[in-house]
């Protein structure tokens, strides 16, 4: 094993240290970003089963680590060609690092104050393609869409302050102006 190899278990130890030292989401994200990039580029943790996708959902969610209280959740996500997510938030901080292939992120700005249940007004707020080793991060209420615009399955490493199915997060339909609960299926 190479001396500079960064493993999933080392990453989890580092995440625990960061979480113990600060609860400020922005500070956590800044410290996790380079570590997520390092793990994504090491690829030693990647298993062929992580490329399995749920056809109905359009992507596969593979849990790599989660603390007993659902915090510090780490996933491998595989994306089917020309598929992705609806606009969504995470309800927790998030750091995503590209592992294989390019993924397009569309960013949204919420215009309303969120006080009307089931309603959301979103405005397109930019777009960027992220590839292997590139990192995008989010604070809990930030909204984006992920899309695999390629003709191959792509893979990315996702780290969250809390397992996304336990945060009360939402998915959005910008055209209809709706917000509904968003739960993903795990492989």
Q: Can you give the pTM of this predicted structure?
A: 0.96
Residue 1 belongs to some domain of the structure: no
pLDDT tens for 10-31 read 999 999 999 999 999 999 999 9
Whether 2 is in a domain gets the answer no
Parallel/antiparallel/unpaired status of strands 122-130 and 103-110: antiparallel
Tell me if residue 113 falls in helix, strand or coil. Answer: coil
Q: Is residue 140 part of a domain?
A: yes
169 has pLDDT over 70: yes
Distance CA 145, CA 133 (A): 19
Residue 141 covered by a domain: yes
CATH number at residue 95: 2.60.120.10
- pLDDT value for 66: 98
What is the distance between the alpha carbons of residues 35 and 171, in angstroms, rounded to a whole number? 28
In this prediction, residues 136-153 reach a mean pLDDT of: 98
Alpha helices in 22-113 (DSSP H): 25-42
Domain of residue 39, residue span: 8-181
Report if residue 59 sits inside a domain: yes
pLDDT digits (tens, 9 = 90+) for 73-99: 999 999 999 999 999 999 999 999 999
Report yes or no on 187 lying in a domain: no
Q: At what angle do helices 8-21 and 25-42 cross, to 10 degrees?
A: 170
- pLDDT of 152 over the 60 cut: yes
Residue 156: inside a domain: yes
The C-alpha angle 153, 14, 169, rounded to 5 degrees, equals 55
Q: Name the pLDDT band for 2 (thresholds 50, 70, 90).
A: low
- In the chain, the number of structural domains is 1
- Structure tokens belonging to residue 169: 């997060």
């Amino acid at each position: 094993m190479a001396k500079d190899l960064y493993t999933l278990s080392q990453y989890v130890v580092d995440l625990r240290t960061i979480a113990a030292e600060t609860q400020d989401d922005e500070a956590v994200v800044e410290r996790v970003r380079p570590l997520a990039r390092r793990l994504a580029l090491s690829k030693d943790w990647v298993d062929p089963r992580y490329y399995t996708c749920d056809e109905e959902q359009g992507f596969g969610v593979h849990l790599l680590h989660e603390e007993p209280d659902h915090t510090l959740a780490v996933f491998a996500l595989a994306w089917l060609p020309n598929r992705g997510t609806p606009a969504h938030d995470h309800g927790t901080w998030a750091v995503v690092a590209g592992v294989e292939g390019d993924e397009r992120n569309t960013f949204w700005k919420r215009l309303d104050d969120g006080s009307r249940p089931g309603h959301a007004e979103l405005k397109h707020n930019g777009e960027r393609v992220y590839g292997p080793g590139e990192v995008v991060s989010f604070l809990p209420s930030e909204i984006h869409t992920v899309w695999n615009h390629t003709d191959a399955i792509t893979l990315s490493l996702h780290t969250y302050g809390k397992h996304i199915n336990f945060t009360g997060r939402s998915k959005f339909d910008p055209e209809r102006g709706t917000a509904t609960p968003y739960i993903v299926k795990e492989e």
